[in-house]
């Protein structure tokens, strides 16, 4: 049983194949529509947190491939509260062909996979966001025509998005530099997992505190919210700690000519990114958001077919 839970479970070759498939499915879709390769298949989508992109891309992705999706929000099933994760997984596994879950604790999505008996996809956990990283690398490849030899500067919180992005960059030969305030850099566990990939694919990985030090020589400036879902109580402290960690025109001037700006969204304009970097010539933010659809289709086609 294959799942899409965390990027270390997939080889670089397999992830390259997934991205190639995403490009093919995108081309096929715009050339008249996708073949209904998932006809009759149903994806259950469990959400413990809000979502726009993840929910819509998986639902519409299933529809384009001939299948359908079922939304199960926090009040519907009470994952781990009304019923244990193992029981939810075993019940769903007998009724649907795959499960996509957005959870708080990363172990919860691993637990679902352990019990479901059908493929499970991580639609974001507190530790990882691998589906986002798929759309990110697809966008980078489309824009630059390659991934190897590029440098990505991640400005801000060493969170779920940053963790998956480091692993994805390591798989795709993209140098990665993160600028984060003390106490907010990447978890040691993720750096340890990335280390062999970083060595094998000969990418450079660095952690700095000043955003300009990461941005220098970068082809991509990437940022995410300072306050992730579930961290709302820490908002005041985080806004204070991340002051200055903003993707703006001044920072872009430090990067390579032709550098692009990226954000997984939702964005807090005026905080981690300016309007100009979202809407101006450097932005590939909306292409990146749209690519969630095509990247998610590749995961669905591979796991559920
Ligand atoms: N980027 C992303 O996952 O967006 P949603 O939270 O809206 O799904
Ligand atoms: N780091 C953010 C990503 C949202 C898509 C969060 O976890 O809320």
> Are 153 and 24 part of one and the same domain?
no
What is the predicted pLDDT for the residue at 76? 87
Query: Do 135 and 252 sit in the same domain of this protein?
Result: yes
pLDDT of residue 123: 98
User: Residue 135's pLDDT is what?
Assistant: 98
pTM of the full predicted structure?
Answer: 0.98
Measured by CA distance, the residue closest to atom 3 of ligand 2 is 228
Same domain, 264 and 165: yes
Q: Are 131 and 110 in contact (CB under 8 A)?
A: no
| Residue of 160, 154, 196 lying closest to 176 (CA atoms) | 154
Kindly list the strands in the beta sheet with 68-72, ordered across the sheet, starting from the edge strand earlier in the chain: 68-72, 42-47, 98-102, 120-122
The ligand placed nearest to the CA atom of residue 289 is: 1
| Alpha helix segments (H runs only) across 117-159 | 130-144
Q: Return the exposure string of 159-195: e unless at least 16 CB atoms fall within 10 Å of the residue's CB, then b.
A: bbbbbbbbbbbbbbbbbbbbbbbeebbbeeebbebbe
Q: Does residue 235 share a domain with residue 118?
A: no
Structural domain boundaries, residue 72: 7-129+292-304
Q: How many angstroms separate the alpha carbon of residue 51 from the centre of ligand 1?
A: 5
pLDDT of residue 183: 96
> What is the distance in A from the centroid of ligand 2 to the CA of 161?
7
Q: What ligand 1 atom has the least distance to the C-alpha of 131?
A: 3
* Same-domain pairing of 243 and 300: no
The predicted pLDDT at position 244 comes to 97
> Which of 222, 235, 264, 289 has the most ligand 2 atoms within 8 A of CB, as the residue to mutate?
264
Q: 48, 22 in Cβ contact below 8 A?
A: no
The DSSP symbol for 6 reads -
Domain shared by 182 and 266, yes or no: yes
What is the rounded CA–CA span in Å between residue 138 and residue 152? Answer: 14
Residue 2 in any domain: the answer is no
For residue 221, list its beta bridge partners. Answer: 153, 261
Distance (angstroms) between ligand 1 centre and the Cα of 202 equals: 31
Give the tokens for residue 118: 């059908």
- 148 and 267 in a single domain? The answer is yes
The answer to whether position 160 is within a domain reads: yes
- In angstroms, rounded to a whole number, what is the distance separating the alpha carbons of residues 108 and 104? 8
Strand partners of residue 280: none
Give the DSSP H/E element, type plus range, for residue 231: none
Nearest one of 124, 120, 171 to 148, comparing CA atoms: 171
| Centroid of ligand 2 to alpha carbon of 228 (angstroms) | 5
Q: Are residues 106 and 209 in the same domain?
A: no
Question: Mind listing the pLDDT tens digit of every residue in the chain (305 residues)?
Answer: 799 999 999 999 999 999 999 999 999 999 999 999 999 999 999 999 999 999 999 999 999 999 999 999 998 888 989 999 999 999 999 999 999 999 999 999 999 999 999 999 999 999 999 999 999 999 999 999 999 999 999 999 999 999 999 999 999 999 999 999 999 999 999 999 999 999 999 999 999 999 999 999 999 999 999 999 999 999 999 999 999 999 999 999 999 999 999 999 999 999 999 999 999 999 999 999 999 999 999 999 999 99
Is 140 in the same domain as 282? yes
Q: Using the mean position of ligand 2's atoms as its centre, give its distance from the Cα of residue 261 in Å.
A: 17
In a shared domain, residues 94 and 53 = yes
Instruction: Report if residue 1 sits inside a domain.
Output: no
Do both 255 and 185 map to the same domain?
yes
**Pair 180, 207: CB distance under 8 Å:** yes
What tokens were used for 28?
Answer: 């096929």
197, 278: one domain:
yes
Question: Which pLDDT does position 141 carry in this prediction?
Answer: 98
Ligand 1, CB within 6 Å, residue ranges:
51-54, 124, 132, 264-266
Cα 163 versus chain centre, distance: 9
Counting ligands in written order, which one lies closest to the CA of residue 135?
1
Q: Which atom of ligand 1 is nearest to the CA of 129?
A: 3
**Based on the structure, what is the number of domains in the chain?**
2
Q: What is the CATH number of the domain that holds 76?
A: 3.40.50.1370
């Amino acid at each position: 049983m294959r799942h899409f839970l965390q990027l270390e479970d997939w080889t670089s070759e397999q992830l390259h194949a997934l991205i190639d498939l995403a490009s093919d499915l995108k081309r096929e879709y715009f050339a008249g529509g996708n073949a209904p390769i998932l006809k009759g298949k149903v994806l259950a989508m469990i959400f413990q947190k809000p979502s726009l992109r993840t929910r819509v891309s998986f639902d519409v992705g299933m529809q384009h491939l001939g299948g359908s999706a079922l939304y199960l929000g926090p009040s519907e099933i009470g994952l781990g509260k009304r019923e244990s994760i193992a029981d939810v997984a075993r019940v769903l596994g007998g009724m649907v062909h795959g499960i996509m879950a957005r959870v708080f604790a990363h172990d919860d999505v691993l637990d679902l996979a352990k019990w479901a008996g059908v493929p499970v996809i991580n639609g974001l956990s507190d530790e990882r966001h691998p589906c986002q990283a798929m759309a990110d690398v697809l966008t980078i490849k489309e824009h630059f025509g390659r991934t190897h030899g590029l440098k990505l500067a991640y400005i801000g919180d060493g969170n779920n998005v940053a963790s998956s992005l480091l692993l994805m960059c390591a798989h795709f030969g993209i140098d990665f530099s993160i600028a984060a305030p003390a106490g907010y850099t990447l978890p040691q566990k993720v750096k340890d997992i990335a280390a062999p990939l970083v060595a094998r694919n000969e990418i450079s990985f660095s952690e700095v505190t000043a955003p300009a030090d990461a941005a220098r020589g970068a082809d991509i400036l990437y940022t995410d919210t300072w306050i992730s879902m579930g961290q709302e109580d820490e908002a005041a402290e985080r806004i204070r700690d991340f002051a200055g960690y903003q993707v703006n025109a001044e920072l872009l001037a430090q990067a390579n000519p032709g550098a692009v700006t990226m954000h997984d969204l939702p964005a807090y304009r005026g905080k981690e990114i300016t309007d100009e970097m979202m809407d101006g010539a450097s932005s590939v933010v909306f292409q990146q958001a749209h690519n969630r659809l095509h990247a998610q289709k590749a995961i669905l086609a591979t796991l559920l077919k």
